[in-house]
Amino acid sequence: MSHFLGVVIESLVAILLMLTIGYCMLLNKRLKRLKADESSLKATIAELITATEIAERAIGGLKHTVRDVNENLGSQLTAATEMSAQLKLQLSECDGVVRRLSKITLAARPSTSAVAPEPAPVSTPAAAPAPVSNAKAVAAAAQAFSERRRSNGLAA
């Protein structure tokens, strides 16, 4: 029996050794795959680092461009504000000039009761409308200009 027990133990140790050898072979295959994956992972990391550096340079360029645009836009905005103020001033002065012109043309206009109406010209088939005096034309233009200015808020 002791001999039989020795054979069983030896057989059990042999089976365990076979299982250990099989398991070691399986681990060897997995380690080889992991080693291959490591090299591809290193290549991927290197590409990622390169892409990150390119992106950082692009962001730096964009920041520089934004700074330049901000400076240019700020100066243009300041110039536009100044020009707007000048235009407001000029429009108010133009409004005063138009009022004075209207007063001048109204004062220069002859009163309708003092002047006898002109006889109507004989109409011909291709007759042009009766000529309007320069003072009346200027007064009408000034009045129309002033009305457009008041209704639209703009002179033209």
What's the pLDDT at 150?
67
Decide which of 39 and 110 is more confident. 39
Dihedral sign computed on CA atoms, order 79, 84, 87, 92: negative
- Is pLDDT above 50 for 153? yes
Going from N- to C-terminal start, the domains of the chain cover 11-109+133-152
What's the pLDDT at 119?
47
- Is pLDDT above 80 for 132? no
Structure tokens at 117: 């109406």
First to last CA, the chain: 126
Closest CA to 95 of 147, 57, 35: 147
- Is pLDDT above 90 for 100? no
CB 102 within 8 A of CB 146: yes
* Residue 65, helix vs strand vs coil: helix
Read off the pLDDT band of 108 (50, 70, 90): confident
Decide which of 148 and 123 is more confident. 148
Percent above pLDDT 90 for the chain: 43
Q: Which residues contact 95 (CB under 8 A, 6 or more apart)?
A: 149
Decide which of 41 and 124 is more confident. 41
pLDDT tens-digit series, residues 33-89: 888 888 888 989 999 999 999 999 999 999 999 999 988 998 899 999 999 999 999
What's the pLDDT at 134?
73
What's the pLDDT at 1?
67
Cα–Cα distance, 38 to 45 (Å, whole number):
10
The total of other beta-carbon atoms located within 10 Å of residue 91's CB is 14
